[in-house]
Chain A
Amino acid sequence: MELSYFPGCSLKAQGHENNLSLIEFSRAVHVELIELPDWNCCGSSSAHAIDPTVAALLPQRNLSLAPKGRPLLVACPSCLLRLKQAHLALVRDEAAQAAYEQRWQTEFDPDLEIIHFFELFSRIDLSRYLDNGENRLNNIRFAPYYGCMLARPPDLRFEANYHGLMESVLTRLGAKALSWGYGTRCCGTFLSVAKPDLATTVVNGIVSGAMDVEAECLVTACAMCHLNLEIRCTLPKRIPILHFSELLSLALGTSDPKRWFPKHLVDPRPLLKKRGLL
């Protein structure tokens, strides 16, 4: 299966371990990701905060670059929201479509499918790759952390929902999901820069919540959450924060995880060695 791939700034510029493991995992399940040529930033949290025009047009350019007939896979939950909202706004407004075609000199594609990485699991048959590996993740205990990705604005309320996806997939791969209270607490996004103390309070609450239920690691679905949980946690003792894609590619035995594990601020290698996963 071929998909267009939108990594977004967070994965491309600091979440290298997320990007690499996501690409490796996809390759292992025979999904070829073709990076959207010359994609741009979707506007992040800042465009919609201060400039509605820029916020509306940044995602539009990305839509205009997507080849017809090939779904666009997005790695970052926040980029996904921006791209979907921009697409929906165009679908609903013919005048805006005409302006779009004029602006970007290309036909608007109302049928473009924009999917999150999570939606891959409804398009592939994971069991095909698992015949001899029932317990590949060796009961590693994880707290699934979704941040704000399960929440959404009212106009997207009927879109695909990902509640419990990390739990079901990783359990299938032999990990042990814990239930806990902080899985959908926002990580603080840009407050991590502008109000670091506030972000630290929130992040410490999340990480200690995971440790209270005896998690050995936290698993995140978003590169920005991952970064905030790593850099803003000030607890003396803390557990590693892993990207969902890292555990996936580890379970599928993809090539060289040693390339990305050293990039973590809390080194996950001792834990992974202890569990016999490295």
Chain B
Amino acid sequence: MIDLDSCDQSLFPTVHRSSRTDFAACLQCKSCGNGCPFVSAMDFTPNQIIRLVQLGMAPQALESATIWICVGCNTCTINCPMAIDIPAVMDALRHLALERGVAIAEPDILEFHREVLHSVERYGRTHKLEIMMRYKLKTLDLFSDLGVGLRMLKKRKLDLTPSKIDDIHHLDPVFKG
């Protein structure tokens, strides 16, 4: 049911501005959803997300699992007849969800992204082993995947020590503004 009175009129212009994408042109042809490799794990298909934003249905769009499951692979973008940058819309919705402090449907995925950025802030590069350990601690999922982790260590697919940049302060404009 769409209750137009409770719709958020600011959603469309906000997402339009930050995604720099004209999703008003969407035809609802569903090419995006039909080709998305991860649609089975989504609660709304990508075309449904576009519709939610057009209608201003902010809670549904911002609290959806879809915006976190989307990996930005651009499979949908090259299929879209209107050249809509769907991953850019997903990016904009994720940023807005964090800004507005709404419930996050996939907190583990958010935690993973935070660990990656933590690593980049600390070393200038990603240190996969530390990201994995911290992610596992934070999500209290210590023992799944132990076998995979050990095999990766054995084959030196996970380096024990991080590859770092020399001048970490040169990154200050990125993280410290």
Contacts and interface: CB of A to CB of B under 8 A. Distances in A.
Nearest to B123: A41
Interface in B109-162: 109-110, 112-114, 116-117, 120, 124-128, 132, 135, 144-145, 148, 151-152, 155-159, 162
A154 interface: yes
A191 B41 CA distance: 11
B37 to A, nearest CB: 5
Interface stretch (A46-54, A115-123, A237-245): A46-54
A263 B166 contact: no
Contacts of A186: 37-38, 71, 73, 75
B73 A44 contact: no
A50 B170 contact: no
Contact of B120 (A12, A43, A151): A43
Contacts of A278: none
Given A41-B124, A57-B174, A194-B106, A13 B117 contact: no
Q: Which applies to chain A's interface (DSSP): helix, strand, loop or mixed? A: helix
Most buried by A among B18, B77, B158, B174: B174
Nearest to B119: A41
Interface of A: 9, 12-14, 16, 38-41, 43-54, 57-58, 61, 103-104, 147-148, 150-155, 157, 184-186, 188-191, 193-196, 198, 202, 227, 231, 262-265
Interface residues of B, number: 60
Given A12-B163, A41-B124, A186-B73, A54 B112 contact: no
Closest 4 CB pairs of A and B: A151-B74, A186-B73, A46-B116, A46-B113
Nearest to B90: A49
B171 A40 contact: yes
A53 to B, nearest CB: 8
Given A50-B110, A194-B106, 4 more contacts: A14-B159, A49-B72, A53-B177, A61-B174
